[in-house]
Structure 1
């Protein structure tokens, strides 16, 4: 009897050892204790890479854990992550999924976000797929740490501190002062919001002006052409010379006071002629005769005809003076 029991124990040990040797147990595939009571439907989420996302990681939706990562496989050049979502949780069809971490050293998990208001809000069916066009892969931890080290090591923190110090120096020192500044800013924003009609009118005017400029683009190109630039340069010189000439012309008017007595005398002459009954036509003819026979010849060839030279005692000395001037060569 003892031998039979010993033999049975040896057989059982042998069978158990063979079973354990023929099977391998992966701790990563073992369910988490909290997942033992979960029941849900499967979904597949595709990523370009999943990095250190472990099997058994949680699936979050609307800020709550709604599922678990069951498997991670390579399929058609993408990482196919099989998840199990709790029954009763409806995931919209156009949702986006992201592999994220709450902290730098925290556990990675899948976060599902709702789509926009105008997206397809139909729920995903079991065994549905969220494609790579609706997923965001995580940044490598090394790159994140490199960016953080670069931020901390290049003086960015000091510059940020200096910026905050400048802002603090610009703001009032008291809370009431800051509140007053904020109230003024709010009033300005409200005033700007109330005057949107004026802003629209200004923008419309600017658009109309732009359209006018576009319609007259050929004319503007002609005005700004090299030939036109030469014309504008010559016009500038012409205007500059006119500017020099105008003061000279103006000096004739300002310095022409000597004409006033002559014009007054001419007016008196015309008045005398009209008072004596002489017509203006006769006066004009006489004036024309005077100009043609006396004044114009004198201006063209200045000379004087002396007809008499009488001294105080009444004697005539014209011939004597003529002989003297002839000897001097003044007359012929």
Structure 2
């Protein structure tokens, strides 16, 4: 009886001292290696033996995780041929929400003559990024799913689908616009000729800029006034009745004011013409043409007879959570 009690006590003591780190590892190790140290503000649930990746390749594994007063110090075994730049950035990542954690080493392009991390070197906490807590991530995801965001997106898509025109009308509109744009593209030589004419006119006006400045200068006001007086006097001599029209022509004032307003509107349209043309071109190039190439209506939600939105694709949600592959 005493021997049995001793065996039970020995077994219980041995079992209590056995932890996950005492179990044999299934990893093959890294072979010839050297140690580097990484300091993080927090490492979540990073285990010993976690992979270390750089440039998409496994270059080592975590050999020890030590908790310090202000940081968590990770000791990593890297393959002997691995060269880590001194300005490397370390971050703890997961392939999926519930997947295994690993350490990723990110760096910029390695220039000629760059320095590399020596064995026993340390990447300080200023150049590391700690992952968010799993509980916080799950809370944010739960708030997003249960807070009505997906429902609002579905409702918005439903309203958009209700105001969209009939598919047949969209296809006819797309066909007409496509034909017009194709015709416009086939007559680019006319546009080139028009632009060439504008360019020649601008060059001609610029070459006579000094003459135009002199003609329309303030000093030439007396010249233009004398020309106007002479023209009016000559016309008055040829048509004696123009004098009576000139004196009693107050009835023309409203018409002249309307013409002046119309000239102002035309001038405003002329000034805004290039900007409006650019906006129209962007609309045709970025909106109409992509839609004309592949017109379609995407249904994002299914509504039951009672008005409830039915979401049946549970597999996609589980895949987002990393529960299935």
Task: Decide which structure has the larger Cα Rg and report it.
Answer: 1
TM > 0.5: no
- Structure number with higher relative contact order (C-alpha < 8 Å, ≥ 6 residues apart): 2
Scaled by the length of structure 2, the TM-score of the pair is 0.43
